[in-house]
Amino acid sequence: MIHVRDTTSSTLQEGICLIVSHHNLNIQNVRGQDYDRASNMCGEFTGLHTLILQECPYAYNVHCLAHQLQLALVDSAKEVVDVYVFFKLEYDCQC
């Protein structure tokens, strides 16, 4: 873990490259990326994903499937009462 001065994509890229090189790893061997959908991460032209992809053409970004599922379930629960009730009952049973 390192401290970064800001969360711009270029600063985050510098931090990632620093950590990778500190562990004697080659950034060219990166084969995957996973970030949230924030613009500094996934921006098409200057996002961290794009900057890393310029150095590592095989470092594809696959948005976290668990996060996508969570977002879909939250939206569903807001619209469909039965979905909300199901998760509420499940939560209550676990407590």
Q: Which helix or strand (DSSP H or E) is residue 89 part of?
A: helix 81-94
| Domain count across the chain | 2
Residues 50 and 82 in one domain: no
Q: Are residues 56 and 75 in the same domain?
A: no
Judge whether 76 and 83 are in contact, CB under 8 Å. yes
Give the helix ranges, DSSP H, for 9-80: 9-22, 39-42, 48-55, 65-79
**Residue 16: which pLDDT band, with cuts at 50, 70 and 90?**
very high
Q: Give the structural domain span for 86.
A: 64-95
Domain match, 10 and 38 both: yes
Question: Are 73 and 46 in a shared domain?
Answer: no
Residue 5 confidence (pLDDT) above 90: yes
Residues 23 and 45 in one domain: yes
Cα(9)–Cα(49) distance, integer angstroms:
8
Say if residue 57 is in the same domain as residue 18.
yes
* pLDDT tens figures, 27-81: 889 888 877 667 677 777 778 888 998 988 888 877 777 778 888 888 988 889 8
Q: Are residues 59 and 22 in the same domain?
A: yes
Does this model's pTM top 0.75? My answer is no
d(CA 42, CA 62): 11
